[in-house]
Chain A
Amino acid sequence: MRNQQATKLIFDLSQPGRRGTQFPESDVPVKPLADLLPADQLADQPPPLPEVTEADVVRHFVNLSQLNMSVDTHFYPLGSCTMKYNPKRHERWAKLPGIGDLHPYLDESRIQGMLAILYEMQEMLGEIAGLPAVSLQPAAGAQGELTALLTAAAYFQDKGEDRKKVLFPASAHGTNPASAAIAGFECVQLNSTVDGLVDMEELKANIDENTAVFMITNPNTVGLFEKEIAEISRLMHEAGGLVYIDGANMNAILGITRPGDFGGDMMHYNVHKTFTGPHGGGGPGSGPIAVRDFLEPYLPGPVLTKLEGDDGEPFYSLRDPEKSIGRVRSFFGNVGILLRGYFYLRTLGPDGVREISEIAVLNANYLLAKLKDILPVPNGDRCMHEFVASAKILQKEKGISAMDVGKRLLDFGFHAPTVYFPLVVAEALMIEPTETESRATLDAFADAIRQIVDEEPEFLHQAPHSTMHSRPDDVAAARKPVLKWSAQAQ
């Protein structure tokens, strides 16, 4: 049923002279451009963009959208990504006149409604973290990590300490070491125990007066709560270092336990995951950070403060913290995504927020229980909001890989779990059902996997069978990269 014509590349649909939008005639006196701009800078002709009609554009992109799986259309248990339902009301509110159309350089006195919302968001994120000082600026989780590390570096520098080492477990997201490297730190990777937790002996052996930060995801990437976290924090603090909590897995612990209460000094949120900013095919994200009060002076500016106005009403104002590390991006932050997170928290309240984690953890454990006999979970019978199953035995006995299972799931109308991450589990399938799925969906998913593992390996190697394409050749793509359409190639 694919519309082959409309889904050609837009460049192949181009016909000279067509256009999809009109602009009015100028209502001011028109002068020759050469009188206004230097002749040597004027283009002879506009760039060779495609020329299509509005109807071409609509049909092309609507058809393309239908080639995607998405949360709106499919169960999407992509581990670590928290693909939960995105409430539609958020979309409407984020676009309201007076909300979605504010220019960032409007005077703060004229946008008190927006600043009040953002201030309240700061407060809510601080409360859920158990860490009082919040910066809403980082554009995504990875930038949140970097921002927190820069904040830590400024703090140490201010104390006259030159600490260079950042520690993280082998199960860490790749962004942790990448952010640490950009922040100018030296990266030290620690092995995990066989249970998938931080190896305390290895940690002790690596903590010294040169250690700046220990970065840890908690619950960690195999879906376990690091139960030694209080001791880890104590050891780090004793050595004068700081503990960073990667908040990628906050969906498991909202209102259950707080990073600030278990020893974290800094953390980032992924608002697009935990608080339903839509994932947008890869972004935008939003990665606010929360830190302890003694780190507040170093946060990037601006942050919001609540003052008392002349009329006795609150007045919200932007300010730069006194020893700020400076900006990490232009303008205030990814406000559009922060707003969606704000709306979500306001429709949930304290009970609703805790319920998210309770049901997310229930759903994950239920799925784990239904699958563990066919897809063993090396790190135990219980998990938090996600778990990592292994197709290692399946691979050894039948030649069926994690990738085969993931690809075949697409035929059953389920998005694949995250495969081959974390690196510490062989043939990993990382499954995160989230709280917004019904038991019927979870049952159907488990049934599909049970059916798949009994299928012929050869058949699975060629899966998926029902999608438009199957098993694209990644090697050919990487050997001779073709990253754009060009007229000559056609």
Chain B
Amino acid sequence: MSYTFTTPEQQQEMLQEIGVNSIEELFASIPQELRFRGDLNLKPAKCELELEQEIASRAKQNQAGSGLTCFLGGGVYDHFIPSVVDEISSRGEFYTAYTPYQAEASQGSLQVFFEYQTLICQLTGMDVSNASLYEGGTAITEAALMAMRITRRTNKVAVLQSVHPEYREVLKTYLKLQGAELVVIDTPEGTVNLDEVIATLDEETAALVIQNPNFYGNLEQVAELADAAHDKGALLICSVDPLSLGVLKRPGDIGVDIVTAEGQPLGIPMQYGGPFLGILACRQEYMRKMPGRVIGTTSDRLGAPCFVLNLQAREQHIRRDKATSNICTNQGLLAIRATIYMTLIGPQGLREVGELCCQKAHYAAETLSGIDGYELAFDRPFFKEFVLRCPVPAEEVIARAAESGLGLGPKLSLFADGLAADTENLLLVAVTEKRTREEIDSLAEVLANGISERILAQHA
């Protein structure tokens, strides 16, 4: 394929206008000895038809993809995406535009991002939202750095072990070179013990970072944890599942100072892990400490209301090494998807999707834990995900289920720093509104017939 649109004759005329004889001459400023001669070791070009056939065969090698009934969780979920989301977000006017530096040429994107910021505030009960960050893990991390700036406590951040292990790892990577300590508070019971939190936080702690529902699907005592943090002058940062907020109280209403979230459940396909959407919203007083792009309203030369990039003086292109973050993009296209998704489902839809997930997850938990040899790992209230203790290593259960076209995981042993207890047999199970009773029942059947009968036979 070629994506250049000048003919060889035109190129000659252009060279003449420039005043050189060849394209090669245009590269004269690159010292000869630094030139790369010969061909890059890349495969020869394929045309659209050829490459489509190759990609299709690669797609088939991913047996796990289409046709798999997905019970996988751990931060990424198989939620329903209404067709309008794909249709609108694939409009070239949205997806081939860039950051709205020229407000007059970008009112479409600007208005959508302003609507996004408003929707995130409505969803979370917070005062201000930015126009999005990379994804859930970096959102938590940016929130922690933000809390360190706000409290001017640069030595310590505390995080619950029940926060997604990968989010915690990102936090650790970023904090290490800031010279700040990351204190991990254990959660062996599946949620944190409040007394342990109170004992751990001190006057040097910038923030307590929690997730609700947490990585295991369980609900933490958010309001009480907020009090514990505030008692020591620390902020409470809470990562939430946006689709839980039709059912659960909003973080802004129960004392959370900075809310973050992985926005993938809001109409974004799983795409093997990204691109996703990092949500960050906070209380009014922290507005100027927020990282990332922010859109605001103003009026134009004739007084008509319109939208612009706002609060740019916080950002890297102006403040350079003093910026609130090095982030330069938002996740525009994903913010557009989330905006469309939220307006389509509305308050009732949000409530219904939350209820469906919750009901089906509880039906699944009851059914699966009723099979001989299986039990729930924790006795804690959960939302749409739970940890199942299997009679054999979780890996075997995942492999067995996959043979029947059922996707399970992650196994908790995937994470070096998952749980204090033995994790080999622990499996995270997520149930979204898309899963039917029939699918849940057939999962139960596979687990019973494939695994539990065999185990019981071995022990008999």
Contacts and interface: CB of A to CB of B under 8 A. Distances in A.
B362 A117 contact: no
Interface string B111-151: 11111011101111100110110111110000001000000
Contact of A37 (B43, B92, B219, B437): B219
A7 B173 CA distance: 43
Contact of A331 (B61, B91, B94, B274): B274
Contacts of B100: 281-282
B95 A281 contact: yes
Interface string A39-57: 0111101111111101001
A436 B3 contact: yes
Q: At the interface, is chain A mostly helix, strand, loop or mixed?
A: loop
Given A28-B360, A37-B248, A283-B333, A51 B328 contact: no
A328 interface: yes
A309 interface: no
B72 A362 contact: no
B198 interface: no
B97 A469 contact: no
A69 B61 contact: no
Interface in B10-68: 10-11, 13-15, 17-20, 23, 26-31, 33-36, 39-48, 51-52, 54-67
Contacts of B194: none
A386 interface: no
28 contacts: A40-B223, A41-B249, A45-B347, A46-B351, A65-B108, A71-B97, A81-B99, A93-B51, A101-B78, A111-B64, A127-B42, A139-B134, A174-B316, A174-B319, A184-B179, A278-B333, A280-B333, A282-B332, A284-B134, A329-B135, A343-B55, A349-B43, A361-B23, A361-B27, A369-B18, A471-B300, A477-B296, A486-B118
B352 interface: yes
Interface stretch (B226-234, B336-344, B442-450): B336-344
A104 B273 contact: yes
A488 B440 CA distance: 46
Contacts of B409: 103, 105-107
A69 B262 CA distance: 29
Interface string A315-358: 00000000001111111111111000001011111111111101
A26 B356 contact: yes
Contacts of B47: 347
Contacts of A328: 138, 170, 173-174
Interface stretch (A14-22, A199-207, A236-244): A14-22
Interface in B252-289: 262, 269-276, 287
B4 A355 contact: yes
A335 B274 CA distance: 5
Contacts of B58: 98-99, 113-114, 116-117
A28 B42 CA distance: 53
Nearest to A184: B177
A431 B93 CA distance: 21
Interface string A473-490: 110111001111110000
B448 to A, nearest CB: 18
Given A139-B275, A482-B297, A354 B40 contact: yes
B76 A284 contact: no
A124 interface: yes
B106 interface: yes
A65 to B, nearest CB: 4
Given A47-B350, A112-B62, A31 B362 contact: yes
Interface stretch (A254-262, A288-296, A390-398, A451-459): A254-262
Contact of A68 (B93, B128, B246, B333): B93
A48 B36 contact: no
Q: Which of A98, A350, A384 has the most CB of B within 10 A?
A: A98
A462 B19 CA distance: 37
A348 to B, nearest CB: 6
B349 interface: yes
Contacts of B138: 139, 143, 328-329
A61 B84 CA distance: 10
Interface in A70-120: 70-74, 76, 78, 81, 83-87, 89, 91-107, 110-114, 116-117
A177 interface: yes
Q: Which of A43, A102, A300 has the most CB of B within 10 A?
A: A102
A470 B104 contact: yes
B340 A89 contact: no
Q: Which of A370, A436, A477 has the most CB of B within 10 A?
A: A477
A169 to B, nearest CB: 12
Given A281-B336, A478-B313, 20 more contacts: A10-B115, A42-B247, A62-B88, A68-B94, A69-B97, A83-B98, A99-B55, A102-B64, A114-B62, A139-B275, A178-B326, A230-B34, A280-B334, A282-B330, A300-B173, A362-B26, A369-B17, A481-B287, A481-B294, A484-B114
